[in-house]
Amino acid sequence: MKRMLALWLGLALLLGGAAPARGEEAARMTLLSINVGKADCHLLTWEGRCWMIDTGAAESWGAVSAALMANGITHLDGVVLTHTDKDHAGGLPALASSSVAVDAWYASAYYCEVKKEEKHPAVMAAAQRGQTVTWLKAGDSLPFGSGRLTVLGPTVLDTEKENNNSVVLLAEAAGGSILLAGDMEQPEEEALLLSGVLQPVTVLKVGHHGEGDATSEAFVLAVKPQVAVISTNSVAEPDTPSNRVMKLLRRVGAQIALTETAAGGVLVEVEAGKPAASLVSWTYPEEVRTVDLTALDPLADVLTLENTGTEAVDLSGWFVRSERGGELFVFPAGASIGPGVALTLSTLATPVPGDYVWADNNVWHNSKDDPAFLYDAWGREISVWNP
């Protein structure tokens, strides 16, 4: 029955773009928590600007891409990686290779699971764009127009649990506030409680997917959210959300929304200090089914695509995924394939470059099955090559 506890806070299921378009002046702050399964990806907007908080897992890039397409988002003022876990950082390579413009990249100043800075997922994503990362810790602030976007945590390095190195953000605008807790567990919560920075908020993005190792009673009593959003998938992670967490949130009167109950995600709008939320989905264009994967040479690291139709197909934003390694390649803006044309996708390890080059080495396993998948820009599977 706990699946039914996700409440419709708005009255209508929105069937189109949810977030305000860039440049559109709006007296409301919005948080779109995309349904990326047991992962996190959120779009925070205010005064026509848009921030992405975490990027989901590699395998959920299709859901992220669809949300960006549906909402007409082609530019991000900033991307914040709360911590390095793959269900938060996995979409970074795809985002970096996409045509979405990113002004700035941010990540927690503290991390324990990555040993070398140059191997940090945010560093590698920013470097792909010729950019660098700004490192965040408690007390920092980010540009947020007439509002405020403050970093509350992390306050110290946790050398054992990466979750407790999560960037915790407080967005204040439109007369309300949104607290994004990353994956912080109770030790980081305790540090924030001791620092005295916590206050009642309008919206809480619940920490660590609503698992029982986060969201303590003291924390809930301190922030008393009116709306609580939990980003998870109970099939992938059966103990989320925790019954204890759900009871605590209901006890303070919070209305609860689960991303897994929405086709597209959960949209929360804050205006004049009042929250309203709804489950959202997207109107998808007609699928193009004339492009097939027709060959894969794992030794040469070359994948072949062919357009069997009679019209050219725009490949902008389409992407290829390798099953065994989970790597993603996103076709750039303007990519296309003519009728009856075959194109090759090579890698940095390929002796002769193909029509498109994947900025990676030895993507395809040359001794074990490693199927290739082709998706359109809306994340729909178009073709599979499984020799």
Q: pLDDT tens digits for 268-307?
A: 999 999 999 999 999 999 999 999 999 999 999 999 999 9
Q: How far apart are CA 120 and CA 100, in angstroms?
A: 21
Per-residue confidence (pLDDT) for residue 26, from 0 to 100: 58
In the three-class reduction of DSSP (H, G, I as helix; E, B as strand; rest coil), residue 287 is classed as coil
Whether 95 shows a pLDDT value over 80: the answer reads: yes
Question: Is the distance from CB of 275 to CB of 9 less than 8 angstroms?
Answer: yes
Q: Which CATH class is domain 291-385?
A: mainly beta
Angle (CA) 142 91 176, round 5°: 35
Class of domain 2-280: alpha beta
Residue 23: predicted pLDDT? 41
Residues 1-46: pLDDT tens digits? 333 333 333 333 333 334 444 444 458 999 999 999 999 999 999 9
Count of Cβ atoms closer than 10 Å to residue 1 Cβ:
4
Which residue bears the tokens 């929304």?
A: 257
pLDDT score for 188: 98
Nearby residues of 210 by Cβ (< 8 Å), 6 or more positions away? 230, 232, 240, 241, 242, 245, 246
Q: What is the pLDDT of residues 207-233, one digit of tens each?
A: 999 999 999 999 999 999 999 999 999
pLDDT digits (tens, 9 = 90+) for 114-150: 999 999 999 999 999 999 999 999 999 999 999 999 9
Coil, strand, or helix at residue 304?
Answer: strand
* CA nearest to 10, candidates 180, 282, 257: 257
CB of 356 within 8 A of CB of 336?
no
Report CA dihedral (246, 228, 182, 175) to the nearest 10 degrees.
Answer: -150
What's the whole-number mean pLDDT along residues 309-324? 96
Q: 74-110 as b/e, with b when 16 or more CB fall inside 10 Å? A: eebbbbbbbbbbbbbbbbbbbbbbbebebebbbbbbb
Contact 131, 102 (CB under 8 A): yes
Residue range 326-347: mean pLDDT, rounded: 96
Let me know: does 349 contact 377? Beta carbons within 8 Å: no
pLDDT, position 357: 95
Q: Tally Cβ neighbours within 10 Å of residue 123.
A: 21
The CA distance from 167 to 181, in Å, is: 7
Reading phi first (left if > 0) and then psi (alpha if -120 to 50, else beta), residue 244 is in alpha
Q: Tell me what pLDDT residue 24 has.
A: 41
Q: What is the DSSP string of 38-97?
A: SS--EEEEETTEEEEE----GGGHHHHHHHHHHTT--EESEEEE----HHHHTTHHHHHH
Band (pLDDT 50/70/90 cuts) for residue 366 is confident
**Structure-token match 């609860």, residue found:** 256
**C-alpha pair distances (Å), 50 with each of 129, 215, 249:** 19, 27, 28
User: Percentage of the chain with pLDDT > 90?
Assistant: 89
Q: Which residues of 366-382 are buried (b: 16+ CB within 10 A; e: fewer)?
A: eeeebebbbbbbbbbeb
Q: Are residues 136 and 166 in contact, defined by beta-carbon separation less than 8 angstroms?
A: no
Distance between CA atoms of residues 76 and 53, nearest Å:
10
% of the chain residues with pLDDT over 70:
93
Cα dihedral sign, 300-305-308-312: negative
pLDDT computed for residue 165 by the predictor: 98
Regarding predicted confidence, which is higher, 84 or 369?
A: 84
> What are the structural domain ranges in the chain?
2-280, 291-385
Place of tokens 């191997």: 119
